[in-house]
Structure 1
Amino acid sequence: MVPTAPHSAARRAVVVGTGAIAHSHVRALRALGERVEVVAAVDLDADRAAAFAAEWSVPRTAATLTEVLAGDEVDLVHVCTPPSSHVELSREALAAGASVVLEKPVALSLAETDRLLAAERASSGSVAVVSQHRFGSGVQRLRSIVEDGSLGRPLVTTCLTQWYRSDAYFQVPWRGSFAVEGGGTTMGHGIHQLDVLLAVLGPWEEVSAMAARGSRPTQTEEVSVATVRFGDGSLASVVNSAVSVRETTVMRFDLELATVELTHLYGYGDDDFRVTAAPGHEGEVETAWAREPRGVPSSHEAQFRAVLDALDAGDAPPVALATARDTLELVAAVYASAFTGEPVRRGQINASNPFWSAMDGTGAVWR
């Protein structure tokens, strides 16, 4: 059962999957001190679970989440496994009354995500989806500036996720197919920046996209390029790549009174932003950008702190599953447009649409 404990009581957390991202989760949880206690590590690979537990002083390991839930009171389940197992593990945790912290992507499809939403509604627990780039102070500040219109409305945005993955990257068994990973660089890499795009600009309306592959041993795309129209009429150009030797992550927001640029790779701080004022508006731009919050880098720790604060207050934790579904719908729309050659509008991918049940829908163009 999920306790109604005061802030001072440690919540009991389980980490499922002890690969690389699980270390980021435990590192972040340890930084939150006595607010949370990691009581078990779950992995089908007993040796890997044992090594993880020894490194982080986790008192118990198990091969299945079922085993842990049957024996212990659990408040939080951190799901750090490959995408194909996310939904079933999360549904199991929710059925036991625990809350879930779920890595991206949420699921392999919108259909699976909707199943998980139904399980959440039937549970006393909740799902928070890891979207750590929303929680850096720079993005928080930019979001508030766009919301209140202090620097005018957005006009055009550039969103570049240009990363490099070698052939060896795709040798991991669960990578490189729509059936097991859910997609390629759009789903696995660019989704983080797409999430920030929606956090800052609000709902998208229409997508036109293309995708390509050919230089890596993968069935999924290595590159996608999309144009996104938002509800306010502004446009965004989006590039996702796994073949860019000089890696970079760039987001540029051109507002009426300023350009705000964020350049980083896998995480950012305040110093990674550059703000340029329109002529004659230097003072108001300086005032707007000087507002709080400040000094918080994007990180799992920042989001997990917000999750615990929300649970302590009895509120839905950020980023809620329904919010993450909006981002996944945009990813699905990129695939649908790329593979059909037609623009896709928000809400168009419903249960009667083949891209609702699988990201490759009617089939990738290179099949």
Structure 2
Amino acid sequence: MVTTTQPAARRAVRRAVVVGTGAIAHSHVRALRALGDRVEVVAAVDVDADRAAAFAAEWSVPRTATTLTEVLADGPVDLVHVCTPPSSHVALSEEALAVGATVVVEKPVALSLAETDRLLDAERASSGSVAVVSQHRFGSGVQRLRALVQDGSLGRPLVTTCLTQWYRADAYFQVPWRGTFALEGGGTTMGHGIHQMDVLLAVLGPWEEVSAMAARGSRPTQTEEVSVATVRFADGSLASVVNSAVSVRETTVMRFDLEFATVELTHLYGYGDDDFRVTAAPGHEAAVEAAWAREPQGVPSSHRAQFLDVLDALDGGGVPPVPLAAARDTLELVAAVYESAFTGKAVRRGQIDADDPFWTAMDGTGAVWR
């Protein structure tokens, strides 16, 4: 009998455009270049032509433009990476969806739930889709923890601590779009803590109710510098969430206390497997050790890890992660933190609808310090 080996299917080389050439755009291109010949960055777009040119020269990008419209008119584009300030995310994403491109957009995806729902409508009408950058979901440690929580290997979640304690000096807020609800959508909750709150939901699943407070006072900003929230999840577990832009010793800490183990993750802006500490409950040491030794292993949180999954999804005909609907769940929690902080009332999941002022703006009826 003669056997033959079929050649592997050739993967398409994806054509990518980067819109916005500030600091985060460099992270995007660096991550894309690390994926080899699976993707080609064909253009860089920025309203500042000189900045676009400098970016293109640094990364050997062949085309620059001051509008996405110019580049889309050149021919087919597979991926549009939106790296602009938050207030422009939705309009740029809609433009890319209109030609059937896949959008990879930085957090926050929109300034409000209303804008997010508008973008969901555009996505439904398009052959393309929206993937929201949520790089901390894609490290092997969080992926493994999520799987172990879902299959019950570590027991029921009981209480979780989620701390985003960062430091931003006055100069940080001199960038015109920062520190305003109108252009940034919020303060440290929306811009910083949203990353860890996203991991919280990825691991623990749906939230049910939140009570929160927020404060401002030492930075030149219209938004909060600190927020503190208590979140109840659908499984009955509780989480304490702290977001800060005034913590001189910066740290990012997530601690999951489950029936059979405590899992702690301590890092700053990105983590690896070594940043996790697992403590088993008495009598569960062997089972917990065996569970934590499972795959995946060895993948740090990064844009590269998410972009690899995006390309794999496109090649397989699937929806790239993290889909817009999932990102909306995280944004709804952020909106609920603001509503609770500014109204003094607990907010339930699903409560913020089109009749609620916090659906159209994160400061809703107005920040308490106005």
> Same-fold call, TM > 0.5?
yes
Q: Residue type matched to 1:39 in 2?
A: V
One-letter amino acid matched to 2:118: R
Deviations 1:109-165 (A, max 9, x none): 000000000000000000000000000000000000000001100000000000000
Are 2:322 and 1:319 aligned?
yes
Determine the structure 1 residue equivalent to 2:5.
none
- 1:177 aligns to 2:148 (yes or no): no
Contact 1:157–1:254 under 8 Å retained in 2: yes
Unpaired runs of 5+ residues, structure 2, are 1-8
Q: 1:7 to 1:156 in 2, by over 3 A?
A: farther
Distance 1:151 1:269 in 2: 20
> What secondary structure sits across from 1:174 in the alignment?
coil
The one-letter code matched in structure 1 to 2:286 is G
Task: Pick from 18, 30, 38 the counterpart of residue 15 of structure 1.
Answer: 18
Match of 1:98 among 74, 98, 101: 101
Match of 1:89 among 89, 92, 95: 92
The question of 1:67 aligning with 2:70 is answered yes
Give, in whole Å, the separation in 2 of the partners of 1:47 and 1:343: 48
| Partner of residue 218, structure 2 | 215
AA aligned to 2:151 is D
Q: Structure 2 CA distance, aligned partners of 1:106 and 1:239? A: 21
Q: TM-score, normalised by structure 2?
A: 0.97
Shift of 1:72: 2.3
Task: Provide the residue aligned with 1:3 in structure 2.
Answer: none
Amino acid at match of 2:275: D
Q: 2:31 aligns with which of 28, 36, 42?
A: 28
Matched ranges for 1:120-269 at <5 A: 120-269=123-272
Cα distance per residue 1:31-68 (max 9 Å; x no partner): 00010000000001111101100000000000000000
1:291 corresponds to which of 270, 291, 294: 294
Partners of 2:40 and 2:364 in 1: CA distance: 42
Do 1:78 and 1:102's aligned partners in 2 also have CA atoms closer than 8 Å?
yes
The gaps in structure 1 that reach 5 residues or longer are: 1-5
- Alpha-carbon distance in structure 1 between the residues aligned to 2:277 and 2:100: 44
* CA–CA separation in structure 2 for the residues paired with 1:238 and 1:361: 21
Q: What is the CA deviation profile of residues 79-107 of structure 1, one whole-angstrom value per residue up to 9, with x for unaligned ones?
A: 00000000000000000111100000000
Letter of the structure 1 residue corresponding to residue 96 of structure 2: A
- The structure 2 residue matched to 1:51, chosen from 33, 49, 54, is 54
SS of corresponding position for 2:73: helix
Q: What is the alpha-carbon distance in structure 1 between the residues aligned to residue 242 and residue 223 of structure 2?
A: 15
- The separation in 2 between residues aligned to 1:155 and 1:188, in whole angstroms, is 27
Percent identity of the aligned residues? 88
Q: Structure 2: how far apart are the matches of 1:245 and 1:12?
A: 42
Give the direction of change, closer, same or farther, for the CA distance of 1:132–1:224 in structure 2 (3 Å limit): same
CA contact (8 A) 1:138 1:293 kept: yes
Q: Counterpart in 1 of 2:3?
A: none
* Aligned AA (1:106): V
Q: CA deviation at 1:173?
A: 0.4
- How far off its partner does 1:7 sit? 5.0
Residue identity in the other structure for 2:61: V
TM-score (norm 1): 0.98
1:119 aligns with 2:115: no
- What letter corresponds to residue 140 of structure 1 in structure 2? Q
Paired AA for residue 47 in structure 1: D
Of 303, 310, 324, which residue of structure 2 is paired with 1:300?
303
**Equivalent-residue separation in structure 1 for 2:80 and 2:362 (angstroms):** 26
Assess if the C-alpha contact under 8 Å between 1:7 and 1:312 holds in 2: no
Task: Name the residue aligned to 1:309.
Answer: 312
Q: Is the 8 A contact 1:182 1:358 kept in 2?
A: yes
Q: Is the 8 A contact 2:12 2:315 kept in 1?
A: no
User: Structure 2 CA distance, aligned partners of 1:257 and 1:71?
Assistant: 57
Q: CA deviation at 1:253?
A: 0.1
Conserved in 2, the CA contact under 8 Å of 1:207 and 1:228? yes
In structure 2, C-alpha distance between the alignment counterparts of 1:8 and 1:114, rounded to whole Å = 33
CA RMSD of the aligned region, Å? Answer: 0.6
Match of residue 45 from structure 2: 42
Which residue of 2 is the match for residue 274 of structure 1? 277
- What is the DSSP-based 3-state SS (H/G/I as helix, E as strand, rest coil) of the residue aligned with 1:150? coil
Write the distance in 2 (CA, Å) between the matches of 1:108 and 1:350: 15
**Separation of aligned partners in 2, 1:279 and 1:322:** 40
